Structures are given as C-alpha cells and as structure tokens.
C-alpha cells in the first residue's frame, strides 16, 4: 500500500494487478450485498461493531484498487499519501476483527457450546493473523517493490474469502450448502499457489508468495483441526482474557 518509487516499479504488471483488485472488490461487494448492504437503511440485527468493521474493510478493498491504479498513472506522491493512511486503517481493521469475533462469540454461545462457537471462529482468527503478517511484511519491505506488492496482494486474497463464502451461501444455497466454507479456503490456496508457481517458473523471488501460500495452507489445516485440543486451548485463552 505504501510504495517508494523505484526502477522496479515500471516492471510491474499494473494492469493485471488492477484487474485482480477489481475482481476482489466485485466479489466482496456481491457477497456482502446479500448479507449486509441490502439491509440498508434499517440494518436489523447489526450493531455499531458490524458497521465500523464493514466500513474499514470496504475502505481497504477500495485502497487495494486505487493504489495500483495510481502506480499505473505514475501518481507516486498520492500513492504514498494514501499508503500512509494504512498505518491507521490496518490497526483499526485488526481491532474491529477482534470486536466482531467477541460479539459473535457471546451471541453464539446462547445457542451452541463454547467449543463449537470457537471452532467456527478458526477462519476469523487465521484471517486476523494473516492480515497482520502480510501487512507487516509489506510495510517492512515498502522500499522493495516486488516484495511489497506481493504481500499486499496477499491481503487482497484474504478479502476474497468472506465475500465468496457469503455469495455462495446467498445465491447458491442448495448447491454449495455444505461447501460454502471449504471452497473459499481452497480457492485462496489455489490463487496463492498459482502466483507462487509463476514466480518460480519466471525465476523471480518466490519467497514472498511462498510465505503467502504457506499461510493460507496453514489456515486450512487449522480449520480442519478446529476441534483439536491445541486450537480449543487457544480459544479458552481468548475467552478468559480477550472476550
């Protein structure tokens, strides 16, 4: 998001990145329109936590589209200014994820056990850790165009999951009822895997996408192990000290 101007910038396929970011924005919009936006202006069953979280996530997806466009147009000063806004938005996104998880936990334990509710939150918490990891690495490598770009694309892949899952449940409930959670998980792994493979084939620095791919693979493993003692112990820690 925050990118220093360098000679490498001209070598970036900004058109491809812009198209991918537009696709991410479209999927997120379609998914959340079905479960959130269409309730405007009443928004029954939603509170301020959901509204703040939704606004922050929307702002991030918009930034993901705008930033590569600014690079494409050589608007580096504006690009860096917007990138600095991410220093505020990214931490707020992380805080909002925790607040939403806390709210969903307390509303969920009314109908299910603590173990079942926290098992469902495996995806939420892995998204939290991946966003923190990718964004931190992107900022750390902000002067390295290629690394910075790849880790920011990693945050975009994260955004695909919630939107795609909601879209599948809303528009194809009978077809994808039992797979609306698994499909986004493996779509994200597949995208990261393809990007990693391209870098390997083109003899580019494959390490950033290797980290991104490994993180999404780990997230899938955690989901399948969401009832394990290790994950449930982490859940008990959160319930006692965070929730």
Tens-place pLDDT, residues 108-140 = 999 999 999 999 999 999 999 999 999 999 999
Closest CA to 208 of 156, 146, 165, 128: 146
28 found inside a domain: yes
Lowest mean pLDDT among 9-13, 78-82, 93-97, 184-188: 9-13
- Tell me what pLDDT residue 222 has: 96
Enclosing domain of residue 156:
7-110+121-182
225 found inside a domain: no
203 found inside a domain: no
**Angle between helix 182-201 and helix 145-171 axes, rounded to 10 deg:** 150
Number of structural domains found in the chain: 1
Q: Does the pLDDT of residue 151 top 90, yes or no?
A: yes
Q: What is the pTM of this model?
A: 0.89
145 found inside a domain: yes
218 found inside a domain: no
196 found inside a domain: no
144 found inside a domain: yes
């Amino acid at each position: 998001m925050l990118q220093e101007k360098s000679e490498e910038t001209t070598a970036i396929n900004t058109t491809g990145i812009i198209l991918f970011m537009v696709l991410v924005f479209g999927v997120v919009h379609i998914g959340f329109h079905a479960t959130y936006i269409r309730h405007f202006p009443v928004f029954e069953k939603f509170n301020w936590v959901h509204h703040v979280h939704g606004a922050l996530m929307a702002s991030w997806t918009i930034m993901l589209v705008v930033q590569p466009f600014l690079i494409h147009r050589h608007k580096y000063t504006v690009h860096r200014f917007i990138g600095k806004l991410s220093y505020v938005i990214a931490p707020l996104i992380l805080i909002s994820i925790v607040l939403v998880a806390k709210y969903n936990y307390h509303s969920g334990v009314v109908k299910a056990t603590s173990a079942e509710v926290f098992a469902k939150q495996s995806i939420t918490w892995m998204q939290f850790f991946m966003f923190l990891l990718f964004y931190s690495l992107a900022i750390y490598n902000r002067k390295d165009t290629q690394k910075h770009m790849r880790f920011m694309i990693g945050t975009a892949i994260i955004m695909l999951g919630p939107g795609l899952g909601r879209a599948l449940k809303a528009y194809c409930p009978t077809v994808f009822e039992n797979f609306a959670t698994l499909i986004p998980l493996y779509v994200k792994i597949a995208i990261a895997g393809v990007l990693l493979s391209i870098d390997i084939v083109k003899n580019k620095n494959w390490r950033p996408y290797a980290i991104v791919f490994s993180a999404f693979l780990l997230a899938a493993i955690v989901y399948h192990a969401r009832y394990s003692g290790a994950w449930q112990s982490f859940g008990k820690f959160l319930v006692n000290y965070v929730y």
